[in-house]
């Protein structure tokens, strides 16, 4: 099998490449990256040492695909993954669309030419901000949680947000580039009979993640806390009660491998998250950090940031029902691995940030 991974030097791309290499030792694995993510430059040597080829190139450039060898599967992990991209003053909205949507067009065209399957890494941020903000929530143990008796909208249950949940705008510019990419990918699947899998991921986390406040929150928070850097609870009263579920990148790799083994059965949209058992609020995360690293005061900024939502926990029921997949790595183990990695690489946080 020949596997091509875009964004192969990013957190998810590199992790998938290395884990799939371990699983399928005779697979040919190669990938493309423009090294635009701060920190991604650490990965080419690790990948090459594992026999994985890295091409320097840009998914926005159709001609960068012309000299690539053919493949059987594309994993699309190249993106600007920040929910604030396009409005943060660092990336323009046009640049975001070029990276995340034009890049998908070029990936799909390359897959069509090869007759290859595609795994598109999408996000829980395709879900409607208004619908998420309207969920009936209460506070339990410093964390927002669904009201036990609250009336829930279609696609939401105590197991979390399922694929049927509303994707009505606004979803953030980032979410919109992903939603548009998903639609296009599903059309290519239909029009050209390609096996195309769309994984809507919750917060992915792991020790080698390049965390910044707006992307890679678990990695960012643990490292910044350990270094006693200033941290703030932003929005929702400034109490840190907002909740996300974390999924270990090892668990994602396991699912992607299962999907690639049965690509025609695995087509369409999948929610992929850590679920209620791996959900945690920022305040709870700070408590975990205090046990690990000692006390550190957290500031409060009650004014919300653009596109922020109080509670996102994904229901991965389809993956359990159809592939027997469930997340195995508990959130406390994920955090422990990040903390251990931080102790070995205390400069990692600064590598991950724009200078
Ligand atoms: N990490 C998460 O929590 C998370 C959650 C949901 C979805 N996702 C999705 O997973 C994918 C990977 O995310 P990640 O966390 O690894 O991000 P990352 O920033 O660590 O990796 C992305 C990689 O893509 C590269 N890249 C960006 N633009 C490129 C371009 N135009 N051409 C070539 N390479 C380019 C970057 O240099 C980087 O190495 C993204 O599509 C993201 O939207 C991530």
Sketch the domain layout of the chain as residue ranges. Answer: 2-351
When pLDDT is averaged across residues 97-123 and rounded to a whole number, the result is: 98
Query: Quick check: CB of 245 below 6 Å from ligand 1?
Result: no
Mutate to test the pocket of ligand 1, among 79, 217, 248, 313 (most ligand atoms within 8 A of CB): 79
Tokens found for residue 166: 């509303």
60 lines ligand 1 (CB under 6 A): yes
Q: Residue 184's pLDDT band (boundaries 50, 70, 90)? A: very high
3-state secondary structure 69-96: CCCCEEEECCCCCCCCCCCCCCCCHHHH
Distance from the Cα of residue 144 to its chain's centroid = 22
296 Cα–ligand 1 center, Å: 31
Q: Which residues of 118-139 are buried (b: 16+ CB within 10 A; e: fewer)?
A: bbbbbbbbbbbbebbeebebee
pLDDT digits (tens, 9 = 90+) for 238-292: 999 999 999 999 999 999 999 999 988 889 999 999 999 999 999 999 999 999 9
In whole angstroms, what is the distance from residue 180 CA to residue 193 CA? 19
Buried b (16+ CB within 10 A) or exposed e, 258-278: bbbeebeebbebbbbbbbbeb
> Would the pLDDT of 355 be above 80?
no
Give CA angle at 96 (65, 272), nearest 5°. Answer: 85
> What is the number of the ligand 1 atom nearest to the C-alpha of 199?
7
Ligand 1 contact, 33 CB (< 6 A): yes
Q: What's the mean pLDDT when you consider all of the chain?
A: 96
Q: Is 123 in the pocket of ligand 1 (CB under 6 A)?
A: yes
What pLDDT is attached to residue 352?
Answer: 82
Yes or no: say if 106 and 112 are a contact pair by the CB < 8 Å rule: no
Contact 157, 315 (CB under 8 A): yes
Which one, of 266, 144, 282, lies nearest residue 195 by Cα?
Answer: 266
Q: Are the C-beta atoms of 253 and 16 separated by less than 8 Å?
A: yes
| CA 306 to ligand 1 centroid distance, Å | 21
Mean pLDDT of the region 77-98: 92
Task: Give residue 213's pLDDT.
Answer: 80
Looking from the CA of residue 13, the nearest atom of ligand 1 is 16
User: Which CATH number applies to 2-351?
Assistant: 3.40.50.720
How far does residue 141's CA lie from ligand 1's centre (Å)? 33
Question: 96: burial class by Cβ within 10 Å (0-12, 13-18, 19+)?
Answer: buried
């Amino acid at each position: 099998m020949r596997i091509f991974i875009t964004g192969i030097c990013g957190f998810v791309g590199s992790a998938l490449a290395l884990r799939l290499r371990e699983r399928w030792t005779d697979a040919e694995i190669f990938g493309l990256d423009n090294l635009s993510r701060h920190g991604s430059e650490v990965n080419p040597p690790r990948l090459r040492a594992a026999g994985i080829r890295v091409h320097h190139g840009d998914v926005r450039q159709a001609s960068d695909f012309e000299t690539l060898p053919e493949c059987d599967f594309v994993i699309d992990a190249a993106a600007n993954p920040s929910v604030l991209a396009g409005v943060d003053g660092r990336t323009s909205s046009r640049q975001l669309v070029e990276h995340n949507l034009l890049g998908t067009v070029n990936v799909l065209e390359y897959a069509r030419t090869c007759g290859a399957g595609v795994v598109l890494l999408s996000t829980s941020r395709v879900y409607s901000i208004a619908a998420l903000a309207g969920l009936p929530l209460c506070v339990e143990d410093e964390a927002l949680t669904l009201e036990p008796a609250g009336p829930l909208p279609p696609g939401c249950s105590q197991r979390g947000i399922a694929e049927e949940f509303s994707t009505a705008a606004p979803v953030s510019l980032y979410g919109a580039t992903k939603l548009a990419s998903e639609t296009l990918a599903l059309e290519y699947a239909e029009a050209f009979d390609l096996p195309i899998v769309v994984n809507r991921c919750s917060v992915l986390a792991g020790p080698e993640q390049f965390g910044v406040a707006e992307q890679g929150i678990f990695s960012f928070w643990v490292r910044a806390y350990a270094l006693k850097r200033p941290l703030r609870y932003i929005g929702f009263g400034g109490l840190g009660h907002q909740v996300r579920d974390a999924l270990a990148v090892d668990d994602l790799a396991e699912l992607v491998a299962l999907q690639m083994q049965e690509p025609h059965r695995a087509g369409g949209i999948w929610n992929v998250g850590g679920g209620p058992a791996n959900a945690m609020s920022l305040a709870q995360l700070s408590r975990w950090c205090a046990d690990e690293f000692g006390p550190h005061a957290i500031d409060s900024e009650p004014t919300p940031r653009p596109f922020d939502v109080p509670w996102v926990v994904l229901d991965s029921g389809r993956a359990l029902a159809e592939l027997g997949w469930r997340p195995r790595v508990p959130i406390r183990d994920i955090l422990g691995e990040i903390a251990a990695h931080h102790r070995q690489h205390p400069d990692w946080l600064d590598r991950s940030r724009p200078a």
